[in-house]
Amino acid sequence: MKILITGGAGFIGSHVIRRFVNKYPDYQIYNLDKLTYAGNLENIKDIDKANNYHFLKGDIADLEYIRGIFEEHKFDGVIHLAAESHVDRSITDPLAFVTTNMVGTAVLLQVFKETWKADFKGKLFYHVSTDEVYGSLGEEGFFVEDTPYDPRSPYSSSKAGSDHLVRAWGHTYGMPIKISNCSNNYGSFQFPEKLIPLFINNIINEKPLPVYGAGVNVRDWLWVVDHASAIDVIFHKGKMGETYNIGGNNEWKNIDLIKVLCQQMDEKLGRPKGTSEKLITYVKDRAGHDMRYAIDSSKLMNELGWEPSVTFEEGLSKTIDWYLENQEWLDNITSGNYREYYSQQYINR
């Protein structure tokens, strides 16, 4: 089986690639990545010499390029993760999100269809999406698979658009598709623009911790390794045409999570209790900031037997240890263009 995994040099994609390359030596795994600011081949250097791993540098929105690689390799399966993924960047540069997340997904669907015509036996197009497509919850309730879509940021609306495109190709052309919608991930190799790695990096460097608004927004956090295991289970055992929600049943108000992170960082860095909390700085809120996400993943748990492997405290502790042990990885990222982004993003707040 030849599987194309898109976005495999990014955060979640690198964990999915690692899992599939190591666990399925009979599969040939092709990692297609444009290597945007978020793509980093260092994230997968432990497996890049494996016999069943191949790297392809390219843009999912480039129709002729995608046609060329499908003609050459005839991929049986696609696990599609490549995307512009950061909400704040989608507020300043929305069109990049429409191009990659919507046009790119449509290009992949169309070329998959052209390659296999109507003969889809043994084939699968698996789309990895987000819980943000469902919008924002109040204090009560959970997102289930048939919660109506109500995306509210350029990022989430471009992901919602991509989900609709995948279902349209499934419905209209009979393409074998699966979709999963996951909550917030954390773990190793996450680009330090996202809350947890950004704050770990700022604590290490004793820089302010910019909390948006009052810090009362709620997110449901899942260790990235557990997201990769859910993708594995859904890819192999999920029902064709179905959607599965993936979440950690692990809701945290931002400010509460940040305080736990500060405590763990003080302990691990040997700094007096309370040192990191002093870095907390309340800044202007994110435009259109969704209040609460919470996923009901009982369909995935009951039907496919998936469950998270770690508690949040364990996952967070492993994550902090990884960043402390991989300071060079962080420094390589934060020394380049990222500095420019950071100074623009947090200006005048």
* CB closer to ligand DAU, 87 vs 261: 87
Q: Residue 80 or residue 219: which is nearer to ligand DAU going by CB?
A: 219
Pick the binder of ligand NAD from 3, 4, 10, 161 (CB under 6 A): 10
| 127: Cβ contacts below 8 Å, ≥ 6 apart | 80, 105, 162, 163, 166, 177, 178, 179, 180
> Residue 35: which of 184, 191, 157 has the closest Cα?
191
Of positions 22, 35, 232, 242, contacts ligand NAD by CB under 6 A: 35
Q: Which residue is nearest to ligand NAD (CB)?
A: 10
Q: Which of 5, 21, 33, 290 binds ligand NAD (CB under 6 A)?
A: 33
Site for ligand DAU contains 86 (CB under 6 A)? yes
Q: H/E element holding 303?
A: helix 298-304
How far apart are alpha carbons 153 and 289 in whole angstroms?
A: 8
Residue closer to ligand NAD (CB basis): 108 or 279: 108
Token digits for 66? 């995608």
Burial 97-113 (b: 16+ CB within 10 A, else e): bbebbbbbbbbbbbbbb
3-state class of 54 per DSSP?
Answer: strand
Report in angstroms how near the CB of residue 194 gets to ligand NAD at its nearest: 7
- Identify the sign of the CA torsion 328, 59, 239, 167: positive
Q: Which stretch binds ligand NAD (CB under 6 A): 8-16, 106-114, 209-217, 281-289?
A: 8-16
- Please give the residues from 208 up to 227 whose contact with ligand DAU meets the rule CB under 6 A: 210-212, 217, 219
Are 118 and 174 in contact by the 8 Å Cβ rule? The answer is yes
Using CB under 6 A, which of 28, 31, 100, 217 touches ligand NAD? 100
Residue 245: in which H helix or E strand, if any?
strand 243-246
Q: How far is the CB of 297 from ligand DAU (least distance, A)?
A: 13
Q: Which is nearer to ligand NAD, 128 or 262 (CB)?
A: 128
Among 38, 107, 179, 301, which residue sits at the site for ligand NAD (rule: CB under 6 A)?
Answer: 38
Q: Which two tokens stand for residue 163?
A: 């989900």
Distances (CA, A) of 299 to 160, 164, 167, 182: 20, 21, 19, 13
Tell which one of 21, 28, 30, 104 touches ligand NAD (CB under 6 A): 104
Tell me the site size for ligand DAU, rule CB under 6 A: 19
Which residues are near ligand NAD by CB under 6 A? 6-7, 9-13, 33-36, 38-39, 59-61, 81-85, 100, 104, 128, 130, 159, 182, 184-185, 191
